[in-house]
Amino acid sequence: MERWVSESPEQPDRISEAEHAVMEALWQRSPLTAQEVCEEVCGPRGWSLATVKTLLSRLVAKQAVETEPDGKRFLYSPRIARTVYVGAESRRLVDRLFGGRAAPLFAHLAESEQLSDDDIAEIEALLKELKS
């Protein structure tokens, strides 16, 4: 049910690691109230409801999340699809650390033994698909 999620490449302001945890909860299931978001993320992180409300406010200000009134509370939904966000963040990483080229990233991962045999097979299959 991602009818409200933008697929456009427009990226909101960068989001922090904490804000990302809130976004993950919203990408998995939304709309959610602040309390429902807290039920997903507060326990593992030791956060309070106030922390979640602050993070949601920041995400609304960054236009990554939209709100909809629901009685005395608000429902929160992502404004950007997870795939769009991941794509933009991946591009930023490659641009910043590898001069905009993906090959040095894969070389680094292979040299530092971060790629499993399954990873390598999957990358090879993707490359073959891209060539055809």
Three-state DSSP at 66 gives strand
- Side chain identity at residue 111, one-letter code: E
Handedness of CA 28, 32, 33, 36 (dihedral sign): negative
Q: Are residues 33 and 67 in the same domain?
A: yes
- Residue 100 pLDDT exceeds 80: yes
- Residue 103 pLDDT exceeds 90: no
Six-digit token pair at 77?
A: 């939904």
Six-digit token pair at 109?
A: 């991962």
Residue 29 in any domain: the answer is yes
- Side chain identity at residue 108, one-letter code: H
Q: Are residues 24 and 73 in the same domain?
A: yes
Residue 87 in any domain: the answer is no
Residue 9 in any domain: the answer is no
Residue 89 in any domain: the answer is no
- Residue 5 pLDDT exceeds 70: no
Residue 49 in any domain: the answer is yes
Domain count, the chain: 2
What residues make up the domain containing 56?
A: 17-82
Residue 88 in any domain: the answer is no
Domain of residue 43, CATH code: 1.10.10.10
The average pLDDT across 49-75 equals 96
Give me the pLDDT at residue 11, please: 57
CA distance linking residue 82 with residue 21, whole number of Å: 12
- Residue 13 pLDDT exceeds 80: no
Q: Sorting pLDDT into bands at 50, 70 and 90, what band is 110?
A: confident
- Residue 74 pLDDT exceeds 80: yes
Residue 95 in any domain: the answer is no
Q: Are residues 64 and 120 in the same domain?
A: no
pLDDT tens readout for residues 15-54? 899 999 999 999 999 999 999 999 999 999 999 999 999 9
